[in-house]
Amino acid sequence: MVKFDIKKEQEKANEHIKEQGLRVLVCAGTGCVANGSLKVIEKFRELGANVSTLTSYDKMTVVPTGCHGFCEQGVLVIIPDKDITYVRVKEADVEEIYQSHIVENKPVERLLYTDPHTNQHIHKSEDINFYAKQTRTALANCGHINAESIEEAIAVRGYEALTKVLEENNPDAVIKEIEDSGLRGRGGGGFPTGRKWRFTAANMGGKSYVVCNGDEGDPGAFMDRSVMEGDPHKLLEGMAIAAFAIGADEGYIYVRAEYPLAIKRLRKAIADAEAAGLLGKNIMGTDFSFELHIKEGAGAFVCGEETALMASIEGERGMPRSKPPFPAYKGLFGRPTLINNVETLANVPVILLNGASWFNSFGTEKSKGTKTFALTGEVKNTGLIEVPMGTTLREIVFDIGGGIRGDKKFKAVQIGGPSGGCLTEEHLDMPMDYDNLIKAGAMVGSGGLVVLNEDTCIVEIARFFMNFTQNESCGKCVPCREGTKQMLKILEKIVAGRGEMEDLDTLEELAIAVKDGSLCGLGKTAPNPVLSTLKYFRDEYIAHIRDKKCPAGVCTALKKIVIKEDLCKGCTKCARTCPVGAISGEVKLPHVIDQSKCIKCEACLGACPFKAIVKE
């Protein structure tokens, strides 16, 4: 018997929201906070105190929300009642917005987003290309609700799915719905979620756990952070539904230490949910109990791997364990454990509210639904997006992303972080889904998409990732521990200009050994960036090795700084600027750089008034 009247609670919540008067939503995700959004919020609150004397609104409430996703244009301010979205708002702009728009109803044109193609000012976020092309389901509420209010979560149908699930009291039906939806693990593995639930539920009877993987270690990925910061109740609800379906009564959310705001919001959300009887003992007055704890990570990428994560929760070094046995059978503290990614779990309430067939109306044949991506790097509109599976890379980078910064040339997109690979021009029209990406030698991974332009050295990127995975290797198994070290040494040799052609064969041999021999996903996928870049940019490697040149002009050791004789006026400014005395020449005669002394600091380049010094 479910003792929770969701409809009544929703009405109450909506009443409360109406009582807030004019709502001013200010993004308070980590990104916008760094850009001063807390000051913007304070200023709005200060000014809004007298709104009733100046307007027909009897109250103004400033609402801190989670990440909107349009990080390039932060701080974002949305006033739903006025159908307006302001971008790049600074504390100094608040007074003008308040006076001109809130009081006098005249929008402040200069703070509106300008469409780069039409040069028009856009009022509503739904009309901004960045948002218009997205389909936000997991991220639906991020940026629209007060992330620290359980009431606002309820107002947007939070906990309605859980109520339905408990009223119907049929765990098997829940699992079937998830199976039918086609949802696949959003953390990178892409394993069918419903099947995982089925396996774990088969072992119920004793103690079982639900664990949420909020480690999000991939550099360049912040999707899970945004869900945890912007709509924590959605995650809690997803976990509760999962626990009910697989027979668990206790759970953990493992959040990496680098996300203090997410940890804070989750703690508050859990406390509020427990107080409202929506979590903890006897949820909604039923027999179902689910106690949720938060475990903070301590800075180890490998702890994103499920068995290492569980070792970490158990208080040990985060070293992976062999599978089988799989967590569904023997996981946390030796018990059956369901472990899912944040985004996967956030999709659960959405699926149960709208139905499996709604969810699988999006996406491709084997990859259903939507996927969040963190679009970063050399793209105009960096930020967080959510699109249906099957959207092409071209749409993401050039449409939603607005194209390459500075209108430079597109070179590649690195997807899947340190476990992923590159996608090049030839992949621009490929529908992005789990299977297509694996065929192309990459993977969806967590969804981090880093755009690289012509000025990026691909070999250096491969070295960068190998350096990262080598550092993060836990050391337990030889292929990963030693193999990544040797691969890194070779890559370092190559970017330092000391590479030999045989190195490429050795690199490939090592890559296969590491892939085949490693114990866990970290080692198994660490060689991917190398293999992928070798496949599509072999010429660039060869240029570094055979010609001792870095085509992108990045690798310091391969840079050659030269003074053009015909342009040099012999003013001696460069010789005086050089910190190592590598430049010589007589006054009024062309100067020369001694390449053996030059440290490539480029100080002379900047000093020359005649632009006579160039990089070759």
Partner 1 sequence: MSTQCGSKIDFKQVDEIIQSYGSKKSNLIAILQQVQEKFRYLPEDVMTYIGTKIEGLSPATVYGVATFYTQFSLEPKGKYEIRVCDGTACHVRGSMPVLNAIKARLNLKEGQLTSDDALFSLETVSCLGACGLAPVVVINGTVYPQMTSDGIKVILDTIAKEGA
The footprint of partner 1 (CB under 8 A) covers: 30-31, 33-35, 71-72, 74, 216-222, 225, 257-260, 295-301, 312-318, 333, 374, 376-378, 382-384, 414, 417, 448, 450, 452, 456, 461, 464-465, 468, 472, 474
> SS3 helix, strand, coil % of the chain, rounded to 5?
45, 15, 40
The Cα 447–Cα 309 span in angstroms is 20
Candidates 373, 385, 476; CA nearest to 420 is: 373
Q: How far is the CB of 50 from partner 1 (least distance, A)?
A: 31
User: Please, are residues 555 and 495 in contact by the beta-carbon 8 Å criterion?
Assistant: yes
Q: Tell me if residue 205 falls in helix, strand or coil.
A: coil
- Which lies closer to partner 1 via its Cβ, residue 35 or residue 533? 35
Which lies closer to partner 1 via its Cβ, residue 222 or residue 434? 222
**Shortest reach from residue 35's CB to partner 1, in Å:** 6
Element containing residue 291 per DSSP (H, E): strand 291-296
Alpha helices in 501-607, H assignment, sequence order: 502-517, 521-525, 528-536, 538-545, 573-577, 603-607
Contact at 8 Å (CB) between 78 and 62? no
Nearer to partner 1 among residue 57 and residue 464 (C-beta):
464
Helices vs. strands in the chain: H and E counts, helices first = 26, 19
Amino acid at position 303, single letter:
C
Cβ 219 to partner 1 shortest distance, Å: 3
CA–CA dist 604, 201 (Å, integer) = 68
User: Minimum distance from CB of 590 to partner 1 (Å)?
Assistant: 30
> Helix H segments across 204-329?
223-230, 232-246, 260-275, 306-313
Least distance in angstroms from the C-beta of 319 to partner 1: 8
Closest CA to 388 of 68, 191, 135, 129: 135
Angstrom distances, CA of residue 144 to CA of 136, 229, 268, 349, 364: 12, 12, 18, 18, 29
Question: Taking the complex as a whole, how short is the minimal distance between the CB of residue 578 and partner 1, in angstroms?
Answer: 17
Comparing CB distances to partner 1, the nearer of 184 and 225 is 225
Q: Which residue, 182 or 304, has its beta carbon nearer to partner 1?
A: 304
Task: Return the number of the residue (462 or 514) whose C-beta is nearest partner 1.
Answer: 462
SS3 (DSSP) at 560? coil
Query: Residue 486 CA to chain centroid, in angstroms?
Result: 30
Q: Please say which residue, 137 or 376, places its beta carbon nearer to partner 1.
A: 376
Q: State the minimum distance, in angstroms, from the CB of residue 601 to partner 1.
A: 11
| Sign of the C-alpha dihedral computed for residues 103, 104, 110 and 113 taken in this order | positive
- Asked if 164 contacts 352 with a C-beta cutoff of 8 angstroms, the reply is yes
Comparison of 35 and 208: residue with beta carbon closer to partner 1: 35
Measured from the CB of residue 188, what is the shortest distance to partner 1 in angstroms?
A: 15
Shortest Cβ 127–partner 1 spacing (Å): 21
384/432 with CB nearer partner 1: 384
Count of residues making up the chain: 616
Which of residues 214 and 349 has its CB atom nearest to partner 1 in the complex? 214
Is 561 in contact with 615 (CB distance < 8 Å)? yes
CB of 261 to partner 1, least distance (A): 9
Token duo for residue 78: 């949305």
- Shortest approach of partner 1 to residue 375 CB, angstroms? 9
Nearer to partner 1, 317 or 576 (CB): 317
Structural contact between residues 312 and 318, judged by C-beta atoms closer than 8 angstroms = yes
Q: Which is nearer to partner 1, 180 or 258 (CB)?
A: 258
Q: At its nearest, how many Å lie between partner 1 and the CB of residue 383?
A: 5
Q: 65: part of which helix (H) or strand (E)?
A: strand 60-65
